[in-house]
Chain A
């Protein structure tokens, strides 16, 4: 188990992980009488790939929504880069450098891949409405800069061939990749991925895994992901949080988690006698 000091650690494959960027302290989230998350604490460190796993209904997506600012927990606090984060709207969180993808793809189906990716640059646009309407001055410079960034990401994720294709015509695996592109183009420091491999075939999963590792490696992005596919989680992530019925039942490296009796019980079920 790691302590919560600011010292980083070195992963098995030799990557250097930095200090804590985000810390969840005693988070409790309720919907009326339903307790979705019960008193959970964990931290996320600079540059690591952090997975949240658990059976259906364990509260994983709720946890991700707390991180992204979509839900504000009733109890506990979120410490982001050393200071307590007040309740925020998701767009404010996005401006702080946290981007996400969704479990059920949320792209603009009628727009091209390029246009969808460009929407991810919204946070970086400062030009006035008038400038933008006439594509003049600052708006023009910004557009060129944003397009450049969008093209870099398109190149990085190898989706050049569908640049001008409407998203609605794409197969599922590619849509997921476009969504990742849109999240990446905002140059996030933390990237939240909600089930990036759901519904993919083996080849698509392999591609996606490679891209996630590449993003982490190339841009140093901290990645928090929720995933059902155990093989993928264990291969990709540096540390894993395991949830069950809103509670945290395990936290550690994939190997530690694998040998945790409570985790095994939650996944395989226990015989009640």
Chain B
């Protein structure tokens, strides 16, 4: 292995980092949570005391070295403390997705053989109790919020506050034991085990060591110059590696403050009250925020609306250049400042984004317009590319080099290699130790030299060194003439239009590409209303000639943009149709996380695909659908198929740079 050296002066475990923080900034806020309408505050010293109390309590309950302690609940300081307390006593915290159904939970609890489960509230306790028959090894369930649990059988059930009280009482009894166990922790002991969401097959437990987490947190914190005065809002699932890195890894490393919202519904209000300086959100959050701004501006008075659009247009040109530190004329600067005073500043304040120094988005591709909107407001929004197996960071965008179409340069300490099939491999100090109880998968993912396959196809731009991700490696194919076929690349471009909800592009082994389009009922319905287009159903709206015209113009715009890319110019969409039904997870066409299941769609709509490749202008089809109550029905429709203009490959296309 390439990673055996141990840097000097780096604490070797999360509990060691905690001790360092208590010594360095003991009276500085470490955690905040809004409770009963008031932000409660814990300093590092107070947090450490709470963590110790939980740790003593866990010892009193009989937690052994190496035990797995499952943690399930929404982001709350006490659950973060529980994870650190588990580490202190030599156990391994295993955070679980709180919205997982009992069945999924049972699999994970069984797989990691958890003897202890720490739950946020009654909902989680109920789920654990429900599956207890399958996981009889669970000895104790600890809960934080006692609501509704008073009358439960408490022979195996404990309130976290009681566990802490017992722990405090048992302080003297276990003091020596706790110190011994804490001292045993080193760089190679397991820090946390996180289960991957499991889009294919069963979830896998990714074992991450202290080395993985601490070195990654160190490198990434230094990359973005995070400091102890930063504030983050912890609202993403605790079971997700990103939250572990941001709210525990980087927070412990730099000593910044982790703020927990009052409830999931109040996140946006809490965001505004806290005004985080460092922020992470998946693209969907940014999209929703932008849509709500745009809709509210439509309802604003004419003066405000004009001010908004006037300054936004200007900001879109100047804002990103200012952020990148490029040359901007004095007049433009002045105008931007004026806009900042009148429009941008107040808008950022309303969104709670005023103080953001660094913002990240990852997980999926983000639309360039969305990306540019936030950059125009002067928000330093960047993209990163990562995986659980890498302790998040593989590549990230440095300040001044932010572009919507790349995912940045390799993070400090990460090496990247592209194999001859185009798949991206990486090696870093953050590379996971193993998949728990699954040596075959470990061996097939990570080679003996520590290189890990990402499963994504991509390439490194020769002149900038930025990585560009094209598609999932297994979806990338060749067209009949041998040119590269990357459906996701084109689908993403299509989906960036608000009117297009979903797109499925076909073309592997064919002469040309075709596409199924799903309209976005909210956006297109709104548009229809404004343009006096009457429609009675989704199907009617989807088939409306004006809607077809609109979608055609979108497809052609995408073609022009695809044509500028030499490698992928063959992926232009020649023929398309607008589907008569929304693709739905209930019908098996999407996964529960709304990812397209190509194979199933190809089988189900083979008549439509044949029609796309046969030159017909319309096709009659019948589709079986499942209603929400489980009944089945049939939708019949005759769909129009249109040809879209394409740009000849290699021709000097005149397309505005994106």
Contact = CB atoms under 8 A, between A and B. Distances in A.
Contacts of B151: 15, 217
Given A151-B37, A152-B36, A160 B147 contact: no
B343 to A, nearest CB: 24
A148 B279 CA distance: 31
B506 to A, nearest CB: 39
Interface residues of B, number: 13
A116 to B, nearest CB: 15
Interface stretch (B163-171, B216-224, B262-270): B262-270
A160 B148 contact: no
Contacts of B148: 214, 217-218
B225 interface: no
A160 B263 contact: yes
B73 to A, nearest CB: 15
Contacts of A164: 269
B150 A160 contact: no
Most buried by B among A148, A151, A156, A161: A161
A201 to B, nearest CB: 13
A142 B147 CA distance: 26
Contacts of A154: 36-37
B147 A218 contact: yes
A152 B36 CA distance: 6
Given A158-B263, A160-B265, A160-B266, A151 B36 contact: yes
A155 B37 CA distance: 9
B147 to A, nearest CB: 7
B191 to A, nearest CB: 33
Interface in B32-61: 35-38
17 contacts: A15-B151, A147-B37, A151-B36, A155-B35, A155-B36, A160-B262, A160-B263, A160-B265, A161-B263, A161-B265, A161-B269, A164-B269, A217-B150, A217-B151, A218-B147, A218-B148, A218-B150
Given A158-B263, A160-B263, A161-B266, A148 B147 contact: no
A259 to B, nearest CB: 29
A158 B36 CA distance: 11
Interface string A147-189: 1100110111010110110000000000000000000000000
Nearest to B262: A160
Nearest to B147: A218
Interface in B488-545: none
A142 B575 CA distance: 71
A16 to B, nearest CB: 10
A233 to B, nearest CB: 22
Contacts of A152: 36
Interface of B: 35-38, 147-148, 150-151, 262-263, 265-266, 269
B270 to A, nearest CB: 10
Contacts of B262: 160
Interface string A118-158: 00000000000000000000000000000110011011101
Interface of A: 15, 147-148, 151-152, 154-156, 158, 160-161, 163-164, 214, 217-218
A163 B265 CA distance: 11
Contact of B147 (A15, A161, A163, A214): A214
Nearest to B263: A160
A49 B36 CA distance: 28
B150 A148 contact: no
Nearest to B35: A155
Nearest to A15: B151
Contact of B36 (A148, A161, A217, A218): A148
B274 to A, nearest CB: 15
B47 to A, nearest CB: 22
Nearest to A14: B151
Given A154-B37, A164-B269, 5 more contacts: A154-B36, A155-B36, A158-B263, A160-B37, A161-B265
A112 B151 CA distance: 35
Nearest to A114: B37
Nearest to B146: A218
A163 B37 CA distance: 9
A100 B263 CA distance: 28
A11 to B, nearest CB: 12
Contacts of B147: 156, 214, 218
Most buried by A among B37, B38, B148, B266: B37
A218 B145 CA distance: 13
A202 B534 CA distance: 31
What 5 A-B pairs are tightest by C-beta distance, nearest first? A161-B265, A151-B36, A161-B266, A151-B37, A160-B262
Nearest to A163: B37
A112 B38 CA distance: 17
A174 B598 CA distance: 41
A217 to B, nearest CB: 7
Contacts of A163: 37
Nearest to B269: A161
Contacts of B265: 158, 160-161
A42 B265 CA distance: 43
A152 B37 CA distance: 9
Nearest to A152: B36
Contacts of A160: 37, 262-263, 265-266
Contacts of A156: 147
Contacts of A217: 148, 150-151
Contacts of A214: 147-148
A155 B265 CA distance: 12
A110 B38 CA distance: 24
A162 B251 CA distance: 31
A147 B38 CA distance: 11
A241 to B, nearest CB: 26
Most buried by A among B36, B147, B148: B36
A147 B266 CA distance: 19
